[in-house]
Protein backbone atom coordinates (compact mmCIF):
# COMPACT_ATOMS: atom_id res chain seq x y z
CA UNK A 1 0.00 0.00 0.00
CA UNK A 2 1.39 3.43 -0.94
CA UNK A 3 2.02 5.72 2.03
CA UNK A 4 0.91 9.32 2.02
CA UNK A 5 3.33 12.18 2.59
CA UNK A 6 1.71 12.78 5.95
CA UNK A 7 2.39 9.15 6.98
CA UNK A 8 5.97 9.25 5.74
CA UNK A 9 6.68 12.40 7.70
CA UNK A 10 5.11 11.38 11.01
CA UNK A 11 8.19 11.38 13.29
CA UNK A 12 8.86 10.19 16.80
CA UNK A 13 8.18 13.62 18.24
CA UNK A 14 5.27 14.49 15.94
CA UNK A 15 6.83 17.85 15.24
CA UNK A 16 5.18 18.85 11.97
CA UNK A 17 2.85 17.78 9.20
CA UNK A 18 4.08 17.04 5.72
CA UNK A 19 2.13 20.00 4.41
CA UNK A 20 4.49 22.29 6.31
CA UNK A 21 7.61 20.86 4.70
CA UNK A 22 9.60 22.30 1.81
CA UNK A 23 8.43 21.08 -1.58
CA UNK A 24 9.84 17.71 -2.50
CA UNK A 25 11.31 16.92 0.91
CA UNK A 26 8.72 14.35 1.94
CA UNK A 27 9.40 12.15 -1.07
CA UNK A 28 12.97 11.68 0.18
CA UNK A 29 11.98 10.13 3.51
CA UNK A 30 11.94 6.38 3.20
CA UNK A 31 9.60 4.50 5.52
CA UNK A 32 11.15 4.06 8.94
CA UNK A 33 14.04 6.48 8.39
CA UNK A 34 12.94 8.89 11.09
CA UNK A 35 12.42 6.16 13.70
CA UNK A 36 14.83 6.25 16.62
CA UNK A 37 17.33 3.42 17.06
CA UNK A 38 16.18 0.85 19.60
CA UNK A 39 18.05 0.63 22.87
CA UNK A 40 18.03 1.53 26.54
CA UNK A 41 18.14 5.29 26.03
CA UNK A 42 14.78 7.01 25.83
CA UNK A 43 14.34 10.57 24.53
CA UNK A 44 13.96 11.95 28.05
CA UNK A 45 16.43 13.74 30.29
CA UNK A 46 15.83 11.27 33.13
CA UNK A 47 16.87 8.39 30.88
CA UNK A 48 19.98 10.16 29.57
CA UNK A 49 21.10 11.31 33.03
CA UNK A 50 20.60 7.94 34.73
CA UNK A 51 22.32 5.77 32.11
CA UNK A 52 24.96 7.72 30.21
CA UNK A 53 28.63 7.18 31.08
CA UNK A 54 31.33 9.22 29.37
CA UNK A 55 33.42 6.78 27.29
CA UNK A 56 37.03 6.16 28.27
CA UNK A 57 38.34 7.16 24.85
CA UNK A 58 37.18 10.72 25.45
CA UNK A 59 38.52 10.84 29.00
CA UNK A 60 41.90 9.59 27.79
CA UNK A 61 42.20 11.67 24.59
CA UNK A 62 42.28 15.11 26.26
CA UNK A 63 43.09 17.13 23.12
CA UNK A 64 41.22 17.56 19.86
CA UNK A 65 41.44 19.91 16.86
CA UNK A 66 38.44 21.40 15.08
CA UNK A 67 38.02 22.64 11.51
CA UNK A 68 35.37 25.34 12.05
CA UNK A 69 35.19 25.85 8.30
CA UNK A 70 32.44 26.82 5.88
CA UNK A 71 31.30 29.48 3.39
CA UNK A 72 31.41 32.28 5.98
CA UNK A 73 35.20 32.03 5.64
CA UNK A 74 35.01 33.38 2.08
CA UNK A 75 35.33 37.09 3.04
CA UNK A 76 38.15 36.27 5.51
CA UNK A 77 36.46 38.75 7.84
CA UNK A 78 35.66 36.79 10.98
CA UNK A 79 32.64 35.51 12.86
CA UNK A 80 28.91 35.74 12.19
CA UNK A 81 29.45 37.36 8.82
CA UNK A 82 26.27 35.95 7.27
CA UNK A 83 24.09 37.57 9.93
CA UNK A 84 25.94 40.82 10.44
CA UNK A 85 26.36 41.65 6.76
CA UNK A 86 22.64 42.47 6.91
CA UNK A 87 23.00 44.83 9.89
CA UNK A 88 23.47 48.27 8.37
CA UNK A 89 26.44 50.09 9.89
CA UNK A 90 28.23 46.96 11.11
CA UNK A 91 31.75 46.12 9.99
CA UNK A 92 30.50 43.11 8.05
CA UNK A 93 27.83 45.20 6.28
CA UNK A 94 30.41 47.78 5.24
CA UNK A 95 32.79 45.06 4.07
CA UNK A 96 30.08 43.32 2.05
CA UNK A 97 28.84 46.49 0.34
CA UNK A 98 32.40 47.49 -0.55
CA UNK A 99 33.47 44.02 -1.71
CA UNK A 100 30.38 42.36 -3.18
CA UNK A 101 27.58 44.91 -3.52
CA UNK A 102 24.43 45.95 -1.69
CA UNK A 103 22.45 43.17 0.09
CA UNK A 104 19.30 44.21 -1.71
CA UNK A 105 21.02 43.19 -4.96
CA UNK A 106 23.26 40.32 -3.85
CA UNK A 107 23.26 38.37 -0.61
CA UNK A 108 25.02 35.75 1.43
CA UNK A 109 23.82 33.00 -0.90
CA UNK A 110 25.95 34.57 -3.63
CA UNK A 111 29.07 33.88 -1.58
CA UNK A 112 28.42 30.13 -1.62
CA UNK A 113 29.83 29.49 -5.14
CA UNK A 114 32.94 31.44 -4.11
CA UNK A 115 33.79 28.84 -1.48
CA UNK A 116 35.78 26.41 -3.62
CA UNK A 117 38.25 24.71 -1.22
CA UNK A 118 40.52 24.48 -4.25
CA UNK A 119 43.76 23.96 -2.27
CA UNK A 120 42.34 21.75 0.49
CA UNK A 121 44.58 18.81 1.43
CA UNK A 122 42.90 17.08 4.38
CA UNK A 123 45.58 14.40 4.62
CA UNK A 124 48.35 16.96 5.00
CA UNK A 125 46.41 18.97 7.57
CA UNK A 126 45.51 15.92 9.64
CA UNK A 127 49.12 14.73 9.59
CA UNK A 128 50.03 18.12 11.02
CA UNK A 129 47.33 17.89 13.69
CA UNK A 130 48.38 14.37 14.67
CA UNK A 131 51.97 15.59 15.03
CA UNK A 132 50.63 18.32 17.33
CA UNK A 133 49.14 15.67 19.59
CA UNK A 134 45.45 15.72 18.65
CA UNK A 135 43.61 12.51 19.50
CA UNK A 136 40.27 13.54 18.02
CA UNK A 137 39.20 15.74 15.13
CA UNK A 138 35.97 17.63 14.59
CA UNK A 139 34.49 18.81 11.31
CA UNK A 140 31.84 21.51 11.25
CA UNK A 141 28.75 20.03 9.59
CA UNK A 142 26.81 23.30 9.39
CA UNK A 143 26.74 26.70 11.03
CA UNK A 144 23.97 29.17 11.83
CA UNK A 145 24.10 30.07 8.13
CA UNK A 146 22.13 26.85 7.51
CA UNK A 147 24.49 25.44 4.86
CA UNK A 148 25.33 21.72 5.16
CA UNK A 149 28.94 20.65 4.57
CA UNK A 150 27.99 17.08 3.72
CA UNK A 151 25.93 15.02 1.29
CA UNK A 152 22.66 16.04 2.89
CA UNK A 153 19.60 14.11 1.75
CA UNK A 154 17.19 16.63 3.23
CA UNK A 155 18.75 19.99 2.43
CA UNK A 156 19.73 20.97 -1.10
CA UNK A 157 21.89 23.83 0.11
CA UNK A 158 24.96 21.70 0.73
CA UNK A 159 28.60 21.45 -0.27
CA UNK A 160 28.11 18.57 -2.70
CA UNK A 161 25.89 20.76 -4.91
CA UNK A 162 27.33 24.24 -4.37
CA UNK A 163 30.81 25.66 -3.84
CA UNK A 164 33.41 22.92 -3.33
CA UNK A 165 31.02 20.30 -4.73
CA UNK A 166 32.58 17.88 -2.27
CA UNK A 167 31.38 15.96 0.77
CA UNK A 168 33.50 17.94 3.21
CA UNK A 169 32.44 15.97 6.30
CA UNK A 170 32.82 12.63 4.53
CA UNK A 171 36.31 13.40 3.27
CA UNK A 172 37.44 14.64 6.69
CA UNK A 173 35.94 11.53 8.28
CA UNK A 174 37.83 9.09 6.08
CA UNK A 175 41.11 10.94 6.56
CA UNK A 176 40.65 11.08 10.34
CA UNK A 177 39.77 7.39 10.66
CA UNK A 178 42.80 6.46 8.56
CA UNK A 179 44.99 8.10 11.20
CA UNK A 180 43.27 6.48 14.16
CA UNK A 181 41.60 9.69 15.28
CA UNK A 182 38.17 9.76 16.85
CA UNK A 183 35.85 11.80 14.64
CA UNK A 184 33.28 14.43 15.59
CA UNK A 185 30.84 16.73 13.83
CA UNK A 186 29.52 20.08 15.04
CA UNK A 187 25.94 21.09 14.33
CA UNK A 188 25.07 24.77 14.80
CA UNK A 189 22.04 25.03 12.54
CA UNK A 190 19.30 24.82 15.18
CA UNK A 191 19.55 28.61 15.52
CA UNK A 192 19.31 29.40 11.81
CA UNK A 193 15.56 30.06 11.98
CA UNK A 194 16.08 33.28 13.98
CA UNK A 195 19.77 34.05 13.41
CA UNK A 196 19.23 34.68 9.71
CA UNK A 197 16.22 36.99 10.08
CA UNK A 198 18.47 39.99 9.45
CA UNK A 199 18.46 38.89 5.79
CA UNK A 200 14.76 39.84 5.70
CA UNK A 201 15.51 43.42 6.78
CA UNK A 202 16.38 46.61 4.95
CA UNK A 203 18.51 49.75 5.19
CA UNK A 204 16.94 52.16 7.68
CA UNK A 205 19.01 55.08 6.35
CA UNK A 206 20.69 56.16 3.14
CA UNK A 207 19.89 56.03 -0.58
CA UNK A 208 18.52 52.44 -0.45
CA UNK A 209 16.38 53.11 2.61
CA UNK A 210 13.42 50.75 2.97
CA UNK A 211 14.49 48.44 0.14
CA UNK A 212 14.27 44.86 1.38
CA UNK A 213 17.31 42.58 1.28
CA UNK A 214 17.60 39.54 -0.95
CA UNK A 215 16.04 36.91 1.34
CA UNK A 216 12.78 38.84 1.53
CA UNK A 217 12.38 39.02 -2.24
CA UNK A 218 13.63 35.71 -3.64
CA UNK A 219 11.89 32.40 -4.18
CA UNK A 220 12.58 29.26 -6.15
CA UNK A 221 11.10 30.62 -9.40
CA UNK A 222 13.54 33.53 -9.38
CA UNK A 223 16.42 31.11 -9.90
CA UNK A 224 15.51 30.19 -13.47
CA UNK A 225 18.58 30.62 -15.65
CA UNK A 226 20.80 31.44 -12.67
CA UNK A 227 23.48 29.41 -10.89
CA UNK A 228 20.97 28.47 -8.19
CA UNK A 229 18.23 27.26 -10.52
CA UNK A 230 16.10 24.64 -8.78
CA UNK A 231 17.03 25.83 -5.29
CA UNK A 232 14.73 27.76 -2.97
CA UNK A 233 16.46 30.62 -1.11
CA UNK A 234 13.81 30.40 1.60
CA UNK A 235 15.12 26.97 2.56
CA UNK A 236 18.56 28.49 3.11
CA UNK A 237 17.50 31.66 4.92
CA UNK A 238 14.85 29.93 7.02
CA UNK A 239 11.74 31.82 5.95
CA UNK A 240 10.46 35.24 7.05
CA UNK A 241 9.48 34.23 10.58
CA UNK A 242 10.15 37.66 12.10
CA UNK A 243 11.26 40.13 9.41
CA UNK A 244 12.16 43.65 10.45
CA UNK A 245 8.85 45.58 10.50
CA UNK A 246 8.39 48.49 8.13
CA UNK A 247 8.94 52.02 9.33
CA UNK A 248 12.38 52.10 10.95
CA UNK A 249 14.26 55.24 9.97
CA UNK A 250 17.45 54.97 12.03
CA UNK A 251 20.20 52.36 12.00
CA UNK A 252 20.46 52.28 15.78
CA UNK A 253 16.79 51.55 16.39
CA UNK A 254 16.59 48.98 13.59
CA UNK A 255 19.63 47.11 14.92
CA UNK A 256 18.28 47.36 18.46
CA UNK A 257 15.09 45.69 17.22
CA UNK A 258 17.15 42.81 15.81
CA UNK A 259 19.10 42.49 19.06
CA UNK A 260 15.91 42.28 21.07
CA UNK A 261 13.71 40.21 18.77
CA UNK A 262 15.60 37.87 16.48
CA UNK A 263 18.82 37.32 18.41
CA UNK A 264 16.99 34.66 20.39
CA UNK A 265 19.22 32.22 22.25
CA UNK A 266 16.95 29.74 23.92
CA UNK A 267 16.52 26.21 22.69
CA UNK A 268 12.75 26.05 22.26
CA UNK A 269 11.41 25.02 18.85
CA UNK A 270 9.98 27.92 16.85
CA UNK A 271 6.20 27.76 17.16
CA UNK A 272 5.79 29.80 13.97
CA UNK A 273 8.04 27.50 11.98
CA UNK A 274 7.45 23.83 12.90
CA UNK A 275 8.75 22.75 9.50
CA UNK A 276 12.19 24.02 10.46
CA UNK A 277 12.30 21.77 13.52
CA UNK A 278 11.23 18.76 11.53
CA UNK A 279 13.78 19.44 8.83
CA UNK A 280 16.53 19.92 11.42
CA UNK A 281 15.71 16.54 12.93
CA UNK A 282 15.92 14.77 9.57
CA UNK A 283 19.16 16.52 8.59
CA UNK A 284 20.83 15.73 11.92
CA UNK A 285 19.73 12.10 11.90
CA UNK A 286 21.01 11.79 8.34
CA UNK A 287 24.36 13.25 9.47
CA UNK A 288 24.68 10.76 12.33
CA UNK A 289 23.54 7.71 10.41
CA UNK A 290 25.68 8.47 7.35
CA UNK A 291 29.00 9.25 9.06
CA UNK A 292 28.72 7.42 12.40
CA UNK A 293 30.66 10.05 14.35
CA UNK A 294 32.10 9.50 17.81
CA UNK A 295 31.07 13.01 18.87
CA UNK A 296 28.31 15.45 18.07
CA UNK A 297 28.79 19.03 19.25
CA UNK A 298 25.64 21.14 19.58
CA UNK A 299 26.19 24.89 19.76
CA UNK A 300 23.31 25.18 22.20
CA UNK A 301 22.66 25.94 25.86
CA UNK A 302 20.38 22.92 26.13
CA UNK A 303 19.72 20.09 23.73
CA UNK A 304 18.46 21.86 20.61
CA UNK A 305 14.84 22.44 19.68
CA UNK A 306 13.17 20.77 22.62
CA UNK A 307 12.07 17.20 21.99
CA UNK A 308 13.94 17.04 18.68
CA UNK A 309 17.27 17.32 20.50
CA UNK A 310 16.29 14.65 23.01
CA UNK A 311 15.23 12.37 20.16
CA UNK A 312 18.53 12.82 18.34
CA UNK A 313 20.65 12.27 21.46
CA UNK A 314 18.84 9.07 22.45
CA UNK A 315 19.10 7.86 18.86
CA UNK A 316 22.85 8.60 18.75
CA UNK A 317 23.57 6.74 22.00
CA UNK A 318 21.51 3.71 21.01
CA UNK A 319 23.00 3.66 17.51
CA UNK A 320 26.51 3.93 18.95
CA UNK A 321 25.90 0.84 21.07
CA UNK A 322 24.85 -1.05 17.94
CA UNK A 323 27.92 0.10 16.02
CA UNK A 324 30.27 -0.84 18.88
CA UNK A 325 29.10 -4.23 20.08
CA UNK A 326 26.86 -2.92 22.82
CA UNK A 327 29.26 -0.28 24.12
CA UNK A 328 28.19 3.37 23.95
CA UNK A 329 31.18 5.24 22.54
CA UNK A 330 29.23 8.40 21.69
CA UNK A 331 29.83 11.88 23.13
CA UNK A 332 27.34 14.74 22.87
CA UNK A 333 28.58 18.23 23.72
CA UNK A 334 26.39 21.19 24.58
CA UNK A 335 26.78 24.23 26.84
CA UNK A 336 24.36 23.84 29.75
CA UNK A 337 23.09 26.87 31.62
CA UNK A 338 21.77 26.29 35.09
CA UNK A 339 21.56 22.93 36.90
CA UNK A 340 23.30 20.08 35.13
CA UNK A 341 22.91 16.42 36.07
CA UNK A 342 24.81 14.67 33.30
CA UNK A 343 23.52 12.82 30.26
CA UNK A 344 25.93 14.68 27.96
CA UNK A 345 29.43 16.21 28.20
CA UNK A 346 29.27 19.88 29.10
CA UNK A 347 31.29 22.31 26.99
CA UNK A 348 32.62 25.64 28.26
CA UNK A 349 33.07 27.92 25.26
CA UNK A 350 36.21 30.07 25.51
CA UNK A 351 36.39 29.59 29.27
CA UNK A 352 37.37 27.19 32.01
CA UNK A 353 36.50 25.99 35.48
CA UNK A 354 37.94 27.20 38.75
CA UNK A 355 38.39 23.71 40.19
CA UNK A 356 38.14 19.99 39.56
CA UNK A 357 34.79 18.83 38.21
CA UNK A 358 33.74 15.28 39.07
CA UNK A 359 32.22 14.98 35.59
CA UNK A 360 34.40 14.99 32.48
CA UNK A 361 33.94 18.22 30.52
CA UNK A 362 35.41 20.15 27.62
CA UNK A 363 36.55 23.64 26.72
CA UNK A 364 36.27 24.72 23.10
CA UNK A 365 38.34 27.65 21.98
CA UNK A 366 40.19 28.98 18.95
CA UNK A 367 43.59 30.41 18.16
CA UNK A 368 41.79 33.25 16.37
CA UNK A 369 38.16 33.90 15.56
CA UNK A 370 35.90 30.96 14.83
CA UNK A 371 35.72 31.87 11.14
CA UNK A 372 38.93 32.86 9.44
CA UNK A 373 39.88 36.53 9.80
CA UNK A 374 42.75 37.75 7.66
CA UNK A 375 43.33 40.73 9.96
CA UNK A 376 44.53 38.46 12.78
CA UNK A 377 47.20 37.06 10.48
CA UNK A 378 48.27 40.48 9.22
CA UNK A 379 48.48 41.88 12.77
CA UNK A 380 49.99 38.69 14.30
CA UNK A 381 47.24 38.46 16.90
CA UNK A 382 46.69 34.72 17.11
CA UNK A 383 46.77 32.89 20.43
CA UNK A 384 50.38 31.69 20.87
CA UNK A 385 51.26 28.03 21.21
CA UNK A 386 52.47 28.49 24.79
CA UNK A 387 49.07 29.82 25.80
CA UNK A 388 47.35 26.81 24.21
CA UNK A 389 49.61 24.39 26.12
CA UNK A 390 49.08 26.21 29.42
CA UNK A 391 45.31 26.16 28.99
CA UNK A 392 45.42 22.51 28.03
CA UNK A 393 47.33 21.65 31.20
CA UNK A 394 44.98 23.72 33.37
CA UNK A 395 41.88 22.13 31.81
CA UNK A 396 43.20 18.56 32.00
CA UNK A 397 44.15 19.02 35.67
CA UNK A 398 40.45 19.78 36.32
CA UNK A 399 39.13 16.67 34.51
CA UNK A 400 38.53 18.42 31.20
CA UNK A 401 39.45 18.17 27.52
CA UNK A 402 40.50 20.93 25.13
CA UNK A 403 38.98 21.20 21.64
CA UNK A 404 41.01 23.75 19.69
CA UNK A 405 39.84 25.34 16.44
CA UNK A 406 42.46 26.24 13.86
CA UNK A 407 40.67 28.58 11.40
CA UNK A 408 40.81 27.39 7.78
CA UNK A 409 40.98 29.79 4.84
CA UNK A 410 38.35 29.53 2.09
CA UNK A 411 40.76 27.69 -0.20
CA UNK A 412 41.23 24.94 2.42
CA UNK A 413 44.66 25.94 3.72
CA UNK A 414 45.87 27.39 7.01
CA UNK A 415 48.21 30.36 6.97
CA UNK A 416 51.90 30.37 7.91
CA UNK A 417 51.33 31.84 11.39
CA UNK A 418 48.74 29.19 12.23
CA UNK A 419 51.10 26.48 11.05
CA UNK A 420 53.84 27.79 13.35
CA UNK A 421 51.45 27.70 16.29
CA UNK A 422 50.35 24.12 15.57
CA UNK A 423 54.00 23.07 15.20
CA UNK A 424 54.80 24.83 18.47
CA UNK A 425 52.07 22.87 20.24
CA UNK A 426 53.60 19.71 18.83
CA UNK A 427 57.07 20.64 20.09
CA UNK A 428 55.81 20.44 23.69
CA UNK A 429 53.39 17.54 23.23
CA UNK A 430 56.03 15.37 21.57
CA UNK A 431 58.08 15.53 24.79
CA UNK A 432 55.59 15.80 27.61
CA UNK A 433 52.24 14.40 26.46
CA UNK A 434 52.53 11.42 28.82
CA UNK A 435 51.48 13.90 31.52
CA UNK A 436 48.29 14.61 29.51
CA UNK A 437 46.94 11.48 27.80
CA UNK A 438 45.07 8.98 29.91
CA UNK A 439 45.48 10.97 33.09
CA UNK A 440 43.03 11.77 35.86
CA UNK A 441 42.95 14.62 38.38
CA UNK A 442 44.94 14.51 41.63
CA UNK A 443 43.58 15.61 45.00
CA UNK A 444 44.22 19.25 44.01
CA UNK A 445 44.43 20.61 40.47
CA UNK A 446 47.46 22.81 41.04
CA UNK A 447 49.07 25.71 42.80
CA UNK A 448 50.49 29.12 41.98
CA UNK A 449 49.59 32.80 41.85
CA UNK A 450 47.39 32.94 38.74
CA UNK A 451 43.68 32.61 39.41
CA UNK A 452 41.30 31.09 36.84
CA UNK A 453 37.66 32.14 36.79
CA UNK A 454 34.80 29.78 36.01
CA UNK A 455 32.37 30.12 33.14
CA UNK A 456 32.12 30.73 29.43
CA UNK A 457 33.79 33.53 27.47
CA UNK A 458 36.15 34.34 30.34
CA UNK A 459 39.44 33.64 28.60
CA UNK A 460 39.85 37.18 27.28
CA UNK A 461 40.22 38.48 30.84
CA UNK A 462 42.43 35.61 31.99
CA UNK A 463 45.92 36.69 33.05
CA UNK A 464 48.84 34.75 31.55
CA UNK A 465 50.17 31.85 33.55
CA UNK A 466 53.69 31.93 34.97
CA UNK A 467 56.40 29.41 35.75
CA UNK A 468 55.25 29.62 39.38
CA UNK A 469 51.93 28.06 38.35
CA UNK A 470 51.85 24.25 38.54
CA UNK A 471 49.20 21.80 37.40
CA UNK A 472 48.89 18.20 38.59
CA UNK A 473 47.65 15.03 36.90
CA UNK A 474 47.93 11.34 37.80
CA UNK A 475 48.23 8.07 35.92
CA UNK A 476 48.95 4.68 37.42
CA UNK A 477 51.41 5.16 40.26
CA UNK A 478 52.76 8.48 39.02
CA UNK A 479 51.94 12.07 39.94
CA UNK A 480 52.73 14.59 37.21
CA UNK A 481 53.61 18.19 38.01
CA UNK A 482 53.64 20.59 35.05
CA UNK A 483 55.09 24.10 35.16
CA UNK A 484 53.18 26.67 33.09
CA UNK A 485 56.30 28.43 31.91
CA UNK A 486 60.03 27.78 31.71
CA UNK A 487 61.16 27.03 35.27
CA UNK A 488 64.22 28.33 37.03
CA UNK A 489 66.93 25.92 38.15
CA UNK A 490 64.61 24.48 40.77
CA UNK A 491 60.89 23.78 41.06
CA UNK A 492 59.26 23.88 44.48
CA UNK A 493 56.02 21.92 44.92
CA UNK A 494 54.28 23.35 47.95
CA UNK A 495 51.45 20.84 47.76
CA UNK A 496 53.97 18.11 48.67
CA UNK A 497 54.71 19.17 52.20
CA UNK A 498 54.93 17.11 55.36
CA UNK A 499 53.88 13.47 55.03
CA UNK A 500 53.45 13.50 51.24
CA UNK A 501 56.89 15.00 50.78
CA UNK A 502 58.54 12.19 52.74
CA UNK A 503 56.87 9.57 50.55
CA UNK A 504 58.52 10.78 47.33
CA UNK A 505 60.78 8.02 45.99
CA UNK A 506 61.88 9.24 42.59
CA UNK A 507 61.46 12.22 40.25
CA UNK A 508 62.03 12.29 36.50
CA UNK A 509 61.44 14.67 33.62
CA UNK A 510 58.70 13.15 31.48
CA UNK A 511 60.30 11.30 28.59
CA UNK A 512 63.54 10.56 30.44
CA UNK A 513 64.46 7.76 32.84
CA UNK A 514 67.27 9.75 34.43
CA UNK A 515 66.48 10.55 38.07
CA UNK A 516 66.47 14.16 39.24
CA UNK A 517 67.83 15.31 42.56
CA UNK A 518 65.28 16.53 45.06
CA UNK A 519 65.12 17.49 48.71
CA UNK A 520 62.76 18.54 51.40
CA UNK A 521 62.41 22.08 52.63
CA UNK A 522 60.02 24.06 54.76
CA UNK A 523 58.39 25.28 51.54
CA UNK A 524 57.78 21.85 50.03
CA UNK A 525 59.49 19.44 47.68
CA UNK A 526 62.39 21.13 45.86
CA UNK A 527 63.46 19.55 42.55
CA UNK A 528 66.58 20.47 40.56
CA UNK A 529 65.87 20.97 36.83
CA UNK A 530 68.73 20.53 34.33
CA UNK A 531 68.72 23.29 31.73
CA UNK A 532 68.66 20.77 28.87
CA UNK A 533 65.52 19.13 30.27
CA UNK A 534 63.41 22.27 30.15
CA UNK A 535 61.19 23.79 27.46
CA UNK A 536 60.15 27.35 26.72
CA UNK A 537 56.51 26.54 27.58
CA UNK A 538 57.29 24.59 30.76
CA UNK A 539 58.39 21.19 31.92
CA UNK A 540 56.45 18.10 33.05
CA UNK A 541 57.82 16.13 35.99
CA UNK A 542 56.97 12.54 36.94
CA UNK A 543 56.92 11.86 40.65
CA UNK A 544 56.77 8.35 42.16
CA UNK A 545 55.65 7.36 45.63
CA UNK A 546 52.91 9.90 46.25
CA UNK A 547 49.94 8.34 44.46
Contact call for residues 221 and 233 (beta carbons, < 8 A)? no
Last residue of a domain, one of 319, 349, 379: 349
Q: What backbone phi and psi angles, to 5 degrees, belong to 413?
A: -105, 165
- The reply to whether 38 and 185 lie within a common domain is yes
Count of CB atoms within 10 A of residue 24's CB? 10
Last residue of a domain, one of 349, 384, 401: 349
- The reply to whether 47 and 173 lie within a common domain is yes
The answer to whether position 410 is within a domain reads: no
The 8-class DSSP code of residue 244 comes to: P
Count of CB atoms within 10 A of residue 19's CB? 10
- The reply to whether 23 and 154 lie within a common domain is yes
Q: Give the model's pLDDT for residue 498.
A: 80
SS (H, E, C) 364-410: EEECCCCCCEHHHHHCCCCCCHHHHHHHHHHHHHCCEEEEEECCCCC
- The reply to whether 330 and 463 lie within a common domain is no
Read off the pLDDT of residues 147-182 as tens digits, 9 standing for 90 and up. 999 999 999 999 999 999 999 999 999 999 999 999
- The reply to whether 113 and 246 lie within a common domain is yes
- The reply to whether 474 and 327 lie within a common domain is no
What pLDDT band is residue 89 in, cutting at 50, 70 and 90?
A: very high
- Give mean pLDDT, residues 41-69: 98
Q: Give the model's pLDDT for residue 28.
A: 62
Contact call for residues 394 and 446 (beta carbons, < 8 A)? yes
SS (H, E, C) 325-337: CCCCCCEEEECCC
- Return the closest-CA partner of residue 372 out of 417, 334, 402: 417
CATH of the domain at 181: 3.20.20.80
- The reply to whether 91 and 223 lie within a common domain is yes
- The reply to whether 343 and 481 lie within a common domain is no
- The reply to whether 165 and 302 lie within a common domain is yes
* 274-291 and 307-323 helices, crossing angle to 10°: 10
- Return the closest-CA partner of residue 65 out of 489, 355, 488, 385: 385
Averaged pLDDT of the chain: 93
Read off the pLDDT of residues 341-366 as tens digits, 9 standing for 90 and up. 999 999 999 999 999 999 999 999 99
Residue 205 to residue 210: CA distance in whole angstroms = 8
Read off the pLDDT of residues 361-380 as tens digits, 9 standing for 90 and up. 999 999 999 999 999 999 99
- The reply to whether 317 and 450 lie within a common domain is no
The answer to whether position 389 is within a domain reads: no
Supply the Cα-derived Rg of the chain in whole angstroms. Answer: 25
Percentage above 70 pLDDT, the chain: 95
Query: What total number of domains does the chain contain?
Result: 2
Q: DSSP string covering 101-114, please?
A: --TTTS-GGGGGGG
- Give mean pLDDT, residues 71-91: 98
Query: Which residues have C-beta within 8 Å of that of residue 67, sequence separation ≥ 6?
Result: 125, 137, 138, 139, 140, 172, 405, 406, 408
Q: What backbone phi and psi angles, to 5 degrees, belong to 182?
A: -70, 150
CATH of the domain at 512: 2.60.40.1180
The answer to whether position 375 is within a domain reads: no
- The reply to whether 184 and 319 lie within a common domain is yes
The answer to whether position 480 is within a domain reads: yes
Query: Which residues have C-beta within 8 Å of that of residue 258, sequence separation ≥ 6?
Result: 87, 197, 198, 201, 244
- Return the closest-CA partner of residue 267 out of 191, 347, 194, 196: 191
What pLDDT band is residue 34 in, cutting at 50, 70 and 90?
A: confident
Q: Give the model's pLDDT for residue 253.
A: 98
Last residue of a domain, one of 349, 384, 408: 349
Read off the pLDDT of residues 9-22 as tens digits, 9 standing for 90 and up. 333 333 333 333 44
Domain range for 539? 446-544
Read off the pLDDT of residues 444-474 as tens digits, 9 standing for 90 and up. 999 999 999 889 999 988 999 999 999 999 9
The predicted model scores a pTM of: 0.94
Q: What backbone phi and psi angles, to 5 degrees, belong to 289?
A: -65, -35
The answer to whether position 431 is within a domain reads: no
- Count H helices, E strands: the chain? 17, 16
The answer to whether position 48 is within a domain reads: yes
Q: Give the model's pLDDT for residue 191.
A: 97
The answer to whether position 440 is within a domain reads: no
Secondary structure class of 167 (helix, strand, coil):
coil
483-499 as b/e, with b when 16 or more CB fall inside 10 Å? bbbebeeebbbebbeee
Residues forming beta bridges with residue 203, ordered by sequence position: 209
The answer to whether position 382 is within a domain reads: no
Query: Which residues have C-beta within 8 Å of that of residue 386, sequence separation ≥ 6?
Result: 424, 485, 536, 537
- Give mean pLDDT, residues 304-327: 98
Amino acid sequence: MKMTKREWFRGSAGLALASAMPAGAAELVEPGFDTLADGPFKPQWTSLESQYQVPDWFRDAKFGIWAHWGPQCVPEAGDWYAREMYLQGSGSYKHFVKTYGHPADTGFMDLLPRWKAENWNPDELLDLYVSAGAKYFMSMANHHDNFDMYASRFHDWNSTRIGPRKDIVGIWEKAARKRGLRFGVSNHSAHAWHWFQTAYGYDAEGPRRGERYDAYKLNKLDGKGKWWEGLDPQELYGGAVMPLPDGFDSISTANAWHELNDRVWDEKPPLRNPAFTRQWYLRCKDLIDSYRPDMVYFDNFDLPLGQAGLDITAHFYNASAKWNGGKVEAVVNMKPHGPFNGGIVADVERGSKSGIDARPWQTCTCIGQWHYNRRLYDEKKYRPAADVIHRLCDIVSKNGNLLLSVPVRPDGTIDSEERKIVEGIGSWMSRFSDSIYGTRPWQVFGEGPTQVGAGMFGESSQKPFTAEDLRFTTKGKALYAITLGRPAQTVTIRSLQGRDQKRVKRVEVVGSRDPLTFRQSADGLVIDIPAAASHEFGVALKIYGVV
